[in-house]
Structure 1
Amino acid sequence: MNMQSNINQRRFPRRAAFIIAEYSVKEGSFRDIIKNIGATGIFIGTWRRIAEGQPIDLKFPVFEFENQLQVSGSVVRRTSKGFSVVFDRPIDGLICKEGHFPEIVHEGDR
């Protein structure tokens, strides 16, 4: 599946992000940067070769650095620059309301 068809299938928009995520997959437990985020998924930038189709557990801050979300999902796409995750359940606070994306934290704000 190519990037363009993936974007067209999203139920909710994504926006650029720079958030450190901790995650566990069959390859191990790692920390990498979320490059974009939406209510139903993220893209994690990494050089690691994470296999598609596997479950993933993640922990990362979205609205406050002190409060980490814990979510699970599936790795749905891999590129040379990282991989995409679709969450098992949408993150309610990231659903755009009236065309406005909620404020999120960025590592540069620390």
Structure 2
Amino acid sequence: MSLSEATSRLISHILKMGQGEIMELLDLVEKKNFEKKRKSPRFDYYGEAVYVVKGRAYTGFIKNISTEGVFIETPDITESGEKIILSFELPDGEHVRVSGTVVRGEANGFAVSFDRTIDGNLSRLKVPSTEPESPGQLKRRK
């Protein structure tokens, strides 16, 4: 099948979809493209994090983590571009303190890109093949 034929078929399917289905498809495609940009895999992880922005300390919860960054769930608003210092504990008990920059804000939290990778900290963790059964357990995201 040529690219032209594939594009035509895709457009035909999209034209038959409702608005909600189109928005879901768009979200899926954009997330897939975003995942391709990642340098390291993300792991779902639920753990408390203390962070400092503009000299003020806050508490949030890690939703997912990679060697390059983290997503913090919190009701506190933090703007993209803000410098941040994070402190948290990994499941193996190792304490991590790392600086970074807020790269994306969402209604339920924000994403941080670390100034340095924490590869050595995550490489020792085992990746369970099942869903986490308790806070702190990691699983690799697809």
Normalised by the length of structure 1, the TM-score is 0.79
Which residue number in structure 1 is paired with residue 61 of structure 2? 33
CA shift for structure 1 position 102: 2.3
Residues 32/38 of structure 1: CA separation in 2 closer, same or farther (3 Å cut): same
Is the counterpart of residue 91 in structure 1 residue 114 in structure 2?
Answer: no
CA distance in 1, matches of 2:71, 2:50: 13
Which residue number in structure 1 is paired with residue 73 of structure 2? 45
Gap regions ≥5 residues in structure 1: 96-100
Q: Highest Rg: 1 or 2?
A: 2
Which is helix-richer, 1 or 2? Answer: 2
CA distance in 2, matches of 1:10, 1:27: 29
Gap regions ≥5 residues in structure 2: 1-26, 137-142
Equivalent residues, number? 101
CA shift for structure 1 position 27: 7.1
CA RMSD of aligned residues (A): 2.5
| The one of 98, 103, 106 aligned to 1:79 | 106
Normalised by the length of structure 2, the TM-score is 0.62
CA distance in 1, matches of 2:35, 2:75: 22
SS of the aligned residue for 1:108 comes to coil
Identify which of structures 1 and 2 has the higher relative contact order when contacts are C-alpha pairs closer than 8 Å and 6+ apart.
1
Which residue number in structure 1 is paired with residue 89 of structure 2? 61
CA shift for structure 1 position 11: 0.1
1:102 alignment partner AA: L
CA distance in 2, matches of 1:13, 1:62: 16
CA distance in 2, matches of 1:54, 1:89: 16
Contact 1:63 1:103 (C-alpha < 8 Å) held by counterparts: no
**After TM superposition, what 4+ stretches of structure 1 lie above 6 angstroms from structure 2?**
none
